[in-house]
Amino acid sequence: MKNVSERTGSCRVSCQTANMKIQYMLLGLIICVAGAGTINSEDVSVSAPQSMPPSSPVIICGYVSYTHGSACTSPSVIVTNLNTSEELAAENQIGESFYQLITSSAFVKSGDMLKIEADKSGIPVGSAVYVVDRTDICQGLIEVNINVGVPDFTVTDITFDMSEPLIGDVVEIGATIANFGAERKVFVEFYDNKSINIERVLNRHPESPINDTITFPDDLLIRAHFKSFDVSSGDNITIHNKNRLVDWVNGTGTDHWTEWCDGGTIRIESRNAGFIVDRYEALLANESISLGLGDSTNISAVWNLSDQSMGWATNGTHNVTVTVDPHGQVVESDETNNEKIGAVDVHPSLDFTVTKVSLNQTEPVLGDAVGINASISNSGSRNGTTAVGVYYDNRSIEIKKNVEIVSGEERDTYISTDNISLPHGVLGARLHFDHFNVFNGHVDICDKNGRVVERFHSVRSIEDYINVWTDWVYGENITV
């Protein structure tokens, strides 16, 4: 089997032969013209040629390899001119991976697109498409190799140094990258992709923008996915990294990824806008490697889950993806094996418990200052901090809404709003519903900025709710 330099030499010989023929024909034409110049015009009459001059020879040749890099001997090769649909079969030699088709400029001309297809015993080996230029026709040589010099990178394995990581851990992710083709440099990237839920309703407080922030230490890039958004005219949703504006969202829409934010922070600022963010994606690492035929290597990335305040986002199942050539910069024999996904569950590591509550007065009266003591313990597996709230009082209020909807009746959508102001100095409150019914709609419990804290909706046509406490709402008032 010839090596690469020998293969190139064979094609060069064919090229020189073709050029010699072209030069010979040109020389003959020059001699004829020069000879005609020595004869008087009145002695000789010259008539126009009755046929087109002969076409120049063109050799189409190359080598055929399998996608894993080994030579394909005695291949069957068909060359098709896609502009004319004309097909020609190339010649080969037993035991050689070289093919050659001797044709002419009558078969192919500058600008034509050739498709070269190779098979072995009827089984496809590979193909290539080549656009012919003027230089190819002038030199009489078109060299097209099949699967020669093309890499084939693949991700063969993903590992985690912790099988069940906890919030607060720093995890090492390992990946094995192999190359079954020619040597080449390539980039490898590690991504963390996870579902989350950030929901905002179209609020009525444009003077008070709402900020939702996702931040992870050490991440290189991060972006968020909007399941849906609805922005009032004149307002917007802006996307920021830690220091600057990166992107903005206007109007209404669905299924929208934000631009990438450099660094590990993305801040979503909304003003008079409603939206649902259901997923984030973060770039953990970006490495450059070089692999030869049959080589493999192990690379790693650090996945930092140490920020306990982001536990609401990191708790749950993550899809960690390792991708070779993520931006498609390298032509490969197989572009379908460049990615591998590993799923891993991240669990909470803190478990705070109120173990005891006591008052410094057993029977306080109106006007007394009462001291409240509480004992808090953490039975989790990591150290952490938490906020402790003291809740008191249980006041009764009465809000009644009776909406009569006759079956089959057409009517406009029913909307009502109730605002409940909280006593001065109260940090927050929750509501209790004796009962309510939802008919093809929903009931939202919102804070003062219009943020939906909890939503009750109808799974069936009519949903009955009895003896329901809402989640806690922090702020000066609650909107139903």
The per-residue pLDDT for range 132-167, each reduced to its tens digit, is 999 999 999 999 988 777 888 999 999 999 999 999
User: Which residues does 157 contact at the CB level (< 8 Å), separation at least 6?
Assistant: 174, 175, 176, 340
Q: Which domain holds residue 72?
A: 4-37+53-143
Does the structure show a pLDDT above 70 at 291? yes
Examine the domain organization and report whether 223 and 312 are in the same domain: yes
More confident: 99 or 32: 99
Are residues 307 and 189 part of one domain?
A: yes
Split at pLDDT 50, 70, 90, the class of 330 is: confident
Confidence of residue 412 (pLDDT cuts 50, 70, 90): low
Average the pLDDT over each of 88-102, 118-132, 387-401 and give the range with the smallest value.
387-401
Lowest mean pLDDT across 57-61, 64-68, 194-198: 64-68
Instruction: Assess contact for 126 and 146: CB atoms under 8 A.
Output: yes
- Cα distances from 45 to residues 32, 36, 51, 133, 333, in angstroms, run 14, 11, 18, 39, 61
- Tell me, yes or no, whether 134 and 159 share the same domain: no
CATH code, domain with 325: 2.60.40.10
Regarding whether 242 and 204 lie in a shared domain, the answer is: yes
What would the pLDDT profile of 250-278 be if each residue is shown by its tens digit?
999 999 999 999 999 999 999 888 899 99
Identify the band that residue 424 occupies on the pLDDT scale cut at 50, 70 and 90: confident
User: What average pLDDT does the segment 412-436 reach?
Assistant: 80
**Does residue 395 carry a pLDDT above 90?**
no
- Which DSSP string do the residues of 179-240 spell out, in sequence order? E-SS-EEEEEEEEEEEEEEEEE---S-TTS-EEEEEE-TT-SEEEEEEEEEEE-TT--EEEE
Task: Flag whether pLDDT at 12 surpasses 60.
Answer: no
Split into its structural domains, the chain has a count of 4
Q: Which of 180, 178, 240 is nearest to 215 (CA)?
A: 240
Same domain for 355 and 326: no
pLDDT at 422 over 60: yes
Which pLDDT score, from 0 to 100, does residue 434 have? 87
- For residues 358 and 234, membership in a common domain is answered with no
The pLDDT value given to residue 3: 35
The reply to whether 397 falls in a domain is no
Question: Does residue 355 sit in the same domain as residue 342?
Answer: no
Kindly state whether residues 123 and 82 are assigned to the same domain.
yes
Nearest Cα neighbor of 220 from 174, 280, 286, 171 is 286
Q: In degrees, to the nearest 5, what angle opens at C-alpha 461 toward C-alphas 473 and 397?
A: 35
Shared domain check, 74 and 24: yes
pLDDT-based confidence at residue 201 (cuts at 50, 70, 90) = confident
State mean pLDDT over 70-83: 93
Judgement on whether residues 78 and 139 belong to the same structural domain of the protein:
yes
